[in-house]
């Protein structure tokens, strides 16, 4: 399987200038080709082929006065930029025809100068000799090798984020590492107050970096709003805000990586609930808190690491009533407000913690039941088989019908 290995680099001022030229050329070639494709579509024509776009906006464009500076950078990233545009259009066309699974893909968009920049080099554009990375027309880069590469990379992407930090990302071929099998399985219930509640009863709190740094973030954003547009001080203030957001993102990503790795190593099967995150963030009261947690990224990490280490990852339906069903007798107790954190089952009398009960039901719905009678979350208690929580030392619980309740509560003499 293929994987990405990302490292931090510290280019010299001369290399930063060369990378800025490279990013500008890659962005210009993409935008010129995209604008031409849009004009062709509006005129009633078809999208040009990738070969014709390469010839028109790279080979012939270098001979013009307006684009002669394209020859100052390597030709490989320019070709890869148009290859990415072709792939983006293919994904969009397949999504329109219904041939692509998942969420609908939007058409390609124009690249902005102030956003994160990237340029990809293939085999003919870079050279890796021991710990020295050479990029065509850039030179040798100072790479912080935090871990060794498992194999020879097939491509390398140079990235500059909004905080003006530089990274290189290698695409390498790795062999999946199969961990020692275990009998443990866990259901995970994701929440806002508590990030993850495990079916074992453990609760994991999230660092919530945005919530903790919100006061300081507002301060730096107010400082940015006071700066005059186009001034150098505004550029410095904008980088300061970008670095602040990058620090928040790194804190969240580090937490999600550590938790997902721990769950993968300790359990053979991890079961998660399919949450409609895009719909939940539309709630004005919870959108910031949900975005600060990173639910979707956590699920992506679990999926990738389960495939890498030979674990099983399952997702149950979002319509499964995990918070309404009693994990002991499997009876439905009805909908409950978010403020209700504990509730008592009306059928068996067991007091449940809302999150722990939901995590146990998630595990049972995924095919791993924790009930002593071996029920899988669908089976109801009958007269012959009692629920596991109904011990002989507990008082007998009598189930009354609505008609019996009316007879009991009715005034005497009527």
Q: Which of 273, 292, 320, 370 is catalytic?
A: 273
Cα 337 to Cα 248: distance, rounded to the nearest angstrom: 31
Contact 259, 294 (CB under 8 A): no
Indicate left, alpha or beta for 157 from its phi (over 0: left) and psi (-120 to 50: alpha).
beta
Nearest CA-CA partner of 260 in 302, 229, 231, 290: 302
Question: Residues 106, 110, 113, CA angle at the centre, nearest 5°?
Answer: 140
Using CA atoms, how far residue 330 sits from 48, 187, 348, in Å, is 59, 16, 10
Using CA atoms, how far residue 250 sits from 254, 255, 312, in Å, is 6, 9, 27
Q: Which of 32, 292, 320, 355 is catalytic?
A: 355
Q: Which residues of 98-126 are buried (b: 16+ CB within 10 A; e: fewer)?
A: eeeeeeebeebeebeeeeebbbbbbeebb
Q: Which of 32, 189, 320, 370 is catalytic?
A: 189
Question: 355 catalytic, yes or no?
Answer: yes
Alpha-carbon torsion 144, 145, 147, 152, what sign?
Answer: positive
Using CA atoms, how far residue 379 sits from 111, 241, 357, 374, 384, in Å, is 55, 54, 17, 9, 13
Strand partners, 171: 4, 155
Question: 189 catalytic, yes or no?
Answer: yes
Beta 312-316 vs 132-135: how paired, if at all?
Answer: unpaired
Question: 131 catalytic, yes or no?
Answer: no
Question: Residues 226, 230, 233, CA angle at the centre, nearest 5°?
Answer: 55
Active site residues: 189, 273, 355
């Amino acid at each position: 399987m293929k994987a990405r290995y990302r490292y931090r680099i510290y280019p010299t001022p001369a290399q930063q200038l060369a990378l800025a030229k490279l990013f500008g050329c890659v962005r210009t070639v993409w935008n010129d080709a995209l604008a031409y494709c849009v004009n062709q579509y509006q005129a009633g024509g078809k999208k040009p082929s990738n070969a014709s776009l390469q010839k028109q906006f790279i080979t012939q464009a270098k001979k013009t006065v307006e684009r002669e500076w394209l020859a100052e950078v390597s030709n490989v990233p320019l070709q890869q930029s148009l290859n990415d545009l072709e792939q983006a259009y293919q994904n969009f066309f397949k999504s329109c025809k219904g041939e692509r699974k998942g969420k609908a893909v939007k058409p390609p968009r124009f690249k902005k100068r102030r956003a994160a920049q990237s340029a990809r080099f293939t085999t003919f554009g870079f050279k890796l000799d021991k710990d020295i990375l050479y990029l065509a027309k850039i030179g040798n880069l100072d790479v912080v090798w935090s871990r060794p590469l498992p194999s020879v990379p097939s491509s390398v992407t140079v990235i500059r984020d909004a905080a003006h930090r530089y990274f290189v990302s290698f695409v390498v071929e790795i062999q999946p590492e199969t961990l020692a099998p275990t009998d443990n399985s866990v259901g995970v219930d994701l929440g806002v107050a508590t990030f993850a509640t495990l079916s074992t009863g453990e609760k994991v709190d999230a660092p919530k970096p945005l919530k903790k740094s919100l006061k300081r973030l507002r301060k730096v954003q107010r400082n940015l709003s006071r700066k005059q547009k186009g001034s150098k001080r505004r550029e410095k203030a904008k980088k300061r805000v970008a670095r602040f957001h990058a620090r928040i993102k790194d804190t969240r990503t580090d937490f999600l990586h550590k938790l997902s790795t721990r769950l993968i190593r300790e359990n053979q099967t991890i079961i998660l609930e399919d949450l409609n995150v895009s719909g939940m963030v539309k709630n004005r009261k919870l959108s910031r808190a949900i975005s600060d947690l990173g639910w979707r990224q956590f699920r992506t990490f679990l999926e990738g690491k389960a495939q890498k280490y030979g674990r099983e990852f399952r997702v149950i339906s979002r319509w499964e009533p995990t918070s309404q069903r009693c994990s002991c007798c499997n009876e439905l107790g009805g909908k409950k407000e978010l403020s209700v954190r504990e509730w008592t089952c009306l059928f068996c009398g067991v007091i449940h913690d809302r999150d722990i009960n939901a995590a146990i039901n998630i595990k049972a719905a995924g095919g791993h039941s924790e009930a002593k009678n071996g029920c899988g979350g669908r089976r109801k208690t009958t007269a012959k088989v009692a629920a596991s929580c109904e011990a002989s030392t507990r008082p007998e619980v009598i189930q009354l019908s609505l008609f019996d309740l009316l007879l009991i509560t009715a005034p005497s003499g009527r």
